[in-house]
Amino acid sequence: MGIIRKGLPGGSFKPLSEQDIEKIHNTVLQVIEEIGFQVNSEDARQYFKQTGASIDEANRIVRLPRKTVMDLISKAPSEFTLYGRDEKNDIHLGGSRVYTGTGGTALYIYNPGSKEKRLASLDDLKKIAKLVGGLDNIHLLLLPTYPSELPVNQIDVNRFYAGLNNTSKHIMGGVYTLEGIENVIKMAEMVAGGKEQLRKRPIISMIACCMSPLKLDEHYADMMIAIAKAGIPLVCPAEPLCGATSPITVAGNVLMQTVDSLMGVLLTQIVNPGTPVIFGSVATSTDLRDLKYLAGSVEMGLTNAGSAQMAQFYKLPFYATGGMTDSKALDSQSGYESAITNMLCALAGSNFIHDSAGLMEFAMTVCLEKYVIDNDILGMVMRAVEGIKVTDETLAFDLIKKVGPAGNFVTSKHTRRHMRSEHYEPTVSDRNLREDWDAEGGQVAWERATILVNQIIESSDYSLPEDTKKTILSQIPGIVV
Amino acid sequence: MSQDILALIKENVVQGRINKEDEGMDEGMEGTPAVMELVQQALTDGIDVQKIINEGLTSGMDIVGQKFEEKEYYIPDMLASAEAVGAAMEMLEPHLASSGVEPKGKILIATVKGDLHDIGKNIVSILLRGAGYLVKDLGNDIDDQTIVDAVKEEQPQFLGLSALLTSTMMHMKDIIKSLNDAGIRDNVKVIVGGAPVSEQFANDIGADGFGADGFQAVSIVQSLGS
């Protein structure tokens, strides 16, 4: 009965001042102009050459003048839509509008109701797609797991098919082979109703990563080129880690993230100007005791909030990272780490918070129950983004006058009118009296979530029309049914 | 025709709409006839009063109760529906005797002396009216003698006593004693409620029933009345 909050404007949290943004921006340009970045794809270097960039072929270093950088950024659309198979799931990226989605790509999954993990299979991915299909506060499905039983040449088509056939939300995913990209796009065209229709309403988008610091990997750069040529929306996220692949400072990390993701943005705009590209951050901190990647640090939230401001400055849609935990169990650590990082990203106006649900232990493992719990966290986060609406109606002077001293507001129409929209109603949180909680078995959030997981998966059915499935299965090789 | 209007009454009870200005639950209901207008129409059309109560009001409240149990409805929804039924019952009251409808029962209700808390008592009143009882609310901070006198005069089947303070709840015991002394204790079932009141306390002071919340208050009245 509650309302679904998505696409509401964030931006009330601004860790960077205007002067800070200006200073970071100038340093970004200085890095690209003076230091440059390594481009390991021959094709990509050729594209950069077309802009008149100075290329150091011996070291594969590309340096771009400030003006070129700004010209290319301005070619990228500042707003675009990631379409759902069902249009009610469309996501209008841009400005400071906030949406959420899953993330990956994890290798492991928890056995439901336990702390034991195992390699994730294709079947698990289908289940997650169904589950996300039924969770209102997760707005997009980013394919979160890698089906370990499949050979790499079957990964892309099977992952996207599992997504498209089990939820009507937009499907975003990392890709692994050039052939896979081609077949996934063909498949999506079949679902969308044709080549043109897919370009008009892209129901899929892809991820091709930039490497921190200052490096475009050969394989990923070639994939970026292929995706941009195909006119499919893509994200070029970078993952600088404080003290490991970026300076230790949060500011240095924001800087590194900005430069590194911009490398991808720039390439796509040379390949196909106007390509819908998302500036992406997976920036976080490092455990300097053993150089582990950390998924739940408050600095991750801060960096991503700062990067959201940089994205808004460049007028590029932004893909943030938040909502994960390093914990191995669904305990208070998993709750507070997920909540704090999601909240910081959302309040800063991140357009799409990726990884916002389901991921645990350094993003290595997904947990079905955590999707359900995070759905509640995200519901609360989105309510915070909505903020406080102050009008005569919400202040209710006339009502207060009518109720008067020592009266009550339980029976007023005003209460009924606003109670569902003004207050988020959690699905997992326990708000029972002790005796009712006892009577229901004294369950903790994890146990309550297990029950919900099963209910949601059972009632979730967003499968593709039979004839579409038939066409796909007969024309796209390698799909496992 | 009579089926249509009864179905509309039922629907508007579920929506919690007393009269046509009410918004109710779903969009677009504002301005359409609600429970009061529809019951008036049903009376004008000569529809049997018992039918209006059973097929319109009570069956509507049954759905509301179900929605509340299923956590779809909140207390303010339940109260809005109960208020609509209460208002309709008031309108139907003059027609009950001539239609041969047996009234469900009369309930006298009060918050005891020294206690100014009446939110809970008011909610219980609304819910009891919504369940079809005639409720006479004496108010709050009512001294023992006034309550005993009112029982003599009104001759209700039930007396509901409310207290929020541990310091005032002992008045409930005194009131029961006064009813005994006046020789009218057996004429009325005494139901007690309020945050500090418990089943144990109700037993100790010789009350007939205890309601932990408004809904229990209604069900205890229903079970004691049958």
Nearest to B126 among A411, A413, A417 (CB): A411
Q: Where are the domains of chain A?
A: 8-16+74-386, 392-422
Within chain B, which residues score under 70 in pLDDT? 1-2, 226
State the pLDDT confidence band at A51, using cuts at 50, 70 and 90: very high
Q: Which residues of B touch A419 (CB under 8 A)?
A: 74, 76
Sign of the CA dihedral A31, A33, A34, A36?
positive
- Yes or no, beta carbons of B74 and A413 under 8 Å apart: no
Residue pair A279/A311 in contact by the 8 Å Cβ criterion: yes
pLDDT beyond 70 at A44: yes
Mean per-residue pLDDT of chain B: 91
Residue B93: per-residue pLDDT: 87
Binary contact (B123, A413; C-beta < 8 A): no
Residues from A in contact with B at Cβ < 8 Å: 1, 406, 408, 410-413, 415-417, 419
Please report the pLDDT score of residue A219 as a whole number.
94
Residues on chain B touching A411 (C-beta within 8 angstroms):
76, 79-80, 83, 122-123, 126
Task: Give pLDDT tens digits for A254-288.
Answer: 999 999 999 999 999 999 999 999 999 999 999 99
Q: What is the pLDDT of residues A114-167, one digit of tens each?
A: 889 999 999 999 999 999 999 999 999 999 999 999 999 999 999 999 999 999
CB A341 within 8 A of CB A296: yes
The CATH 1.10.1240.10 portion of chain B extends over 2-96
- Decide which of 1.10.1240.10, 3.60.15.10, 2.60.40.10, 3.40.50.1970 is the CATH code for B2-96: 1.10.1240.10
Instruction: Tell me the residue length of chain A.
Output: 481
Answer whether residue A42 shows pLDDT above 80.
yes
Domain with CATH 3.40.50.280 in chain B: 106-225
pLDDT at B2: 67
So what's the pLDDT on residue B21?
93
| Gap between the Cα atoms of A129 and A463, Å rounded | 10
Instruction: Enumerate the residues of chain A whose CB falls inside 8 A of the CB of residue B83.
Output: 411
- Architecture of the A8-16+74-386 domain: Alpha-Beta Barrel (3.20)
Q: How sure is the predictor about A299, in pLDDT bands with cuts at 50, 70 and 90?
A: very high
Q: Left, alpha or beta for B114 (phi > 0: left; psi -120 to 50: alpha)? A: left
Which chain B residue lies closest to A407 (C-alpha atoms)? B119
Contact at CB, A416 and B77, closer than 8 angstroms: yes
Q: Which of B22, B23, B75 sits opposite A410 (nearest CB)?
A: B75
Interface confidence (ipTM) of the complex: 0.81
* Residue A11 C-alpha from the chain's centroid: 17
Nearest-angstrom CA–CA distance, A29 and A51 = 16
CA distance A266 to A270: 6
How close are the terminal C-alpha atoms of chain A, in Å?
A: 36
Closest by CA to A164, choosing from A135, A144, A143, A136, is: A143
What CATH architecture is B106-225?
3-Layer(aba) Sandwich (3.40)
